[in-house]
Amino acid sequence: MYTVNAPPDRVVAVLSADERWMTLALDLAPRGLGRTAPNPPVSCVIVQGDEVVGQGFHPRAGEPHAEVFAPHGAGAHARGATAYVTLEPCSHHGRTPPCTDALIASGVCRVVVSTLNPNPRVAGRGVQALRDAAIDVSVGILEAGATRQQAGFRSVIVRGRPWVVAKYAMTLDGKVAAVGEGNGKVSDAAARERAMVWRNELDAVAVGSGTLNMDDPALTTRGVPGGRYARAVVFDRQARSNPQAQAWRPGSVLVTAPDAAVSAFEASGITVVRAETPQSALTQLGHLGLSSMLLEGGPGLLSTLLDAGLVDEVRTFISPKLLGGGLSPLTSPDRRMNEAQELRDVTVETLGQDVLVTGLLSDIPRL
């Protein structure tokens, strides 16, 4: 990327050819979010000259990978072309054959890889396999964007647990609810629509027992074309949640203490995770194939995971309202300002009358 001459108040960024085509690939990959775990969301674009001749993304676990769909679409036009892939292709047999084999067989002469694969079974071997086949390989094009898309996959591979995203809405004076009111709407429609998109894109949506019992949330995905339900996860150490709550459905998970009585939940087909610590709970959720989790409440659960260093990303809607008394988003002990946890890679966006602030608390795992 480079800049061109422009008026003093404007800087015009010009993408290189590789950045241009990789941007197209990165726009395509998220179509698999929430559907590919334990695999990553990956896309592949094949370019011949200045024309896209094939493209594809990994739609869900167990189905062909992007590096199979794109050459299939390109056909004979792939020979001598360049393939742009958002993650280093796998070079081993899993549920499907190696993606490197598909690229080699297609006849492409060059492969541009956004970022290396952290899976120890790949981790550079895919690039080497392509080079051994006399294919030119470039690595590191728009790497930051690719690793952000793959945060869940990378978290499970490197740390053995899902990437945890805390989401909440609060008033301008920092309140998430009025006392005793339960699920009063804080943000407006645009913010709630964005939250539904996140439920569609992340593998699980989690709440604590207090939120479940007071609000009885369905934890479904609504208003998203082609949307799917994230797996509902309820943290309840004493397993005293209402077994008839709306969140319980096939695939729902109860996270509870080792000695909790759970027969009513097991009889309903609920998956039970018994854990001594929050870290153990998240590790077991990773073993269930969950690579990302949207944490929606309440303050007690958020504080527990935050204080344990297990919240990786924060997405907060701030609504232009003043409530006065009410519930804060955290119940953590008082700290000094110099002990505050600071977000990194912060973005600020206006949604209707609300402001969305997002940022990272953890580095996205690499190799």
204-216 pLDDT, tens digit each: 999 999 999 999 9
Q: Is the pLDDT of residue 6 over 60?
A: no
Reported pTM: 0.91
143 labeled binding residue: no
Residue 82 · residue 114 · CB < 8 Å? no
345 labeled binding residue: no
Q: Which CATH architecture is the domain 12-149 placed in?
A: 3-Layer(aba) Sandwich (3.40)
pLDDT for the residue numbered 2: 46
Report percent pLDDT > 90 for the chain: 84
Question: What does the pLDDT average to over 325-340?
Answer: 89
Place of tokens 């709550």: 245
Residue 246 C-beta-side C-alpha neighbours within 13 Å: 11
Beta bridge partners of 83: 46, 111
Q: Which fold has domain 161-360?
A: Dihydrofolate Reductase, subunit A (3.40.430)
Contacts of 88 (CB under 8 A, 6+ apart): 113, 115, 116, 117, 122, 124, 126, 127, 139
Least confident interval from 1-5, 140-144, 196-200, 347-351: 1-5
Residue 257 · residue 241 · CB < 8 Å? no
Least confident interval from 152-166, 177-191, 265-279, 306-320: 177-191
Annotated active-site positions, please?
Answer: 67
Give CA–CA dist 265/262, Å, rounded.
5
Give CA–CA dist 308/281, Å, rounded.
12
pLDDT for the residue numbered 10: 56
99 labeled binding residue: yes
Average pLDDT value over all residues in the chain = 92
Q: Which residues of the chain form CATH 3.40.430.10?
A: 161-360
Residue 352 · residue 320 · CB < 8 Å? no
Least confident interval from 7-11, 16-20, 277-281, 314-318: 7-11
Q: Which residues of the chain form CATH 3.40.140.10?
A: 12-149
Question: What does the pLDDT average to over 86-106?
Answer: 88
pLDDT for the residue numbered 13: 57
222 labeled binding residue: yes
219 labeled binding residue: yes
44 labeled binding residue: no
Q: DSSP letters of 277-303?
A: SHHHHHHHHHHTT--EEEEEE-HHHHH
